[in-house]
Amino acid sequence: MNDFLKENERIDELYSNEVKIIQNPNVFSFSLDAVLLAEFAKVPAKAKSKIVDLCAGNGAVGLFMSHKTRGKIVEVELQDKLADMAQRSVELNDLTNKITIVNDDLSNAFEHIDKDSVDMITCNPPYFPDIKSSKKNPNPYLAIARHEITTNLSSILEICEGLLKTNGKAFFVYRPDRLPELINVMSDHHVMPKKLQFVYPRMGKDANIVLIEGIKSGKKGGLKVLPPIYVYKENSNEYTSYIREVLYGKNK
C-alpha cells in the first residue's frame, strides 16, 4: 500500500464506507465539510447517471459518494499535486471504472464534459474572496483551495448551469456569512435553491457550515430549511451520534 504514497503523504480512511484516501498536510487534507457534503448530496443510483465534483481537491467528495451510485463520477481539479493524489486514491480503492479525475482549470470543463449532460454536481468551493488586503496562507496549495484566486462563485455557477440537465441538481457546502451571495449567484444562473441545512459546532454556537441544494431551471420559491446538524455534544468534545455515524458507520 505504501507504493501509492509520495513524500509527506499518509493514507486515511472514512470508516463508514471503507474508503481510503491519500492525504498530505503540506498540500491538502479533506475536512468534515467534504464528508458532510457527500452525505447531504442526493446521489442518483442508476448506472446511466453522470455525476461531477468541481473543485475536487484530493478527490474526497467523489470518493465518499462512490458507494451511492452505479453511475460515473468525474472530478475536476486544477492543482496538479491534488489531482495526482486523487488519481492514486481512485486506484487505491479500485474505482478506476467509476471515477475519472480531470486535471484542468474549471473554465475548461466543457472540453471534458458535454453541456446539458450531467445529473448532479457537488462543489466545495473556495470560501474566501480574493481581496488584495486579506491575509492568505503562504502555502500556495492551501491559498488556492481557500481563496477565490483561480475561480469564484459566478464562474462555478456558470459551469454548473452549462453542465446540468434541466432539473439536474447541484449541492454545495459553504460559509453561512456568504450564504446570501451564494443564493443570489445560484438564482442568477437558474440553479434555484431548494434545500438548506445549517451545521453548528454544538448547541448554543453560531452555525459555521451551510449545505445547500439547487435545481437547474427549478421554480422560484419553495426553499426548505432542514433540521440542524450539531457536530459535538453539548459541553463535550464528543461527536454527536449523527456525526459518529457519518464518520464511522452505524453502531460505532
Q: Which structural domains are found in the chain, ordered by start?
A: 2-248 (3.40.50.150)
Task: Give dist(CA 34, CA 174) in Å, integer.
Answer: 10
Asked if pLDDT for residue 156 goes beyond 70, the answer is yes
Site of grid cell 458535454: 114
- pLDDT of 118: 98
- Closest by CA position to 216, among listed 252, 187, 184, 238: 187
Task: Give the dihedral sign, CA 81/19/247/229.
Answer: positive
pLDDT of residue 66: 97
What DSSP element (H or E) covers 205?
A: none
Whether 87 has a pLDDT exceeding 90, the answer reads yes
Taking only the tens place, the pLDDT of each residue in 103-137 is 999 999 999 999 999 999 999 987 655 545 555 45
- The answer to whether the beta carbons of residues 24 and 39 sit under 8 Å apart is no
- Select from 54, 48, 39 the least CA-distant residue to 163: 54
Of the two residues 146 and 53, the one the predictor is more confident about is 53
Report pLDDT for 139.
Answer: 54
Segments of the chain assigned E as strands: 10-14, 19-23, 50-54, 72-77, 99-103, 118-123, 164-174, 191-200, 209-216, 224-225, 229-230
176 and 200 Cβ atoms separated by less than 8 Å: no
Name the residue among 130, 24, 18 with its Cα closest to residue 66.
18
Mean pLDDT of all residues in 72-89: 95
Q: 237 is written with which cell numbers?
A: 468534545
pLDDT at 147 over 70: no
Q: Which of 101, 100, 154 is nearest to 126 (CA)?
A: 154
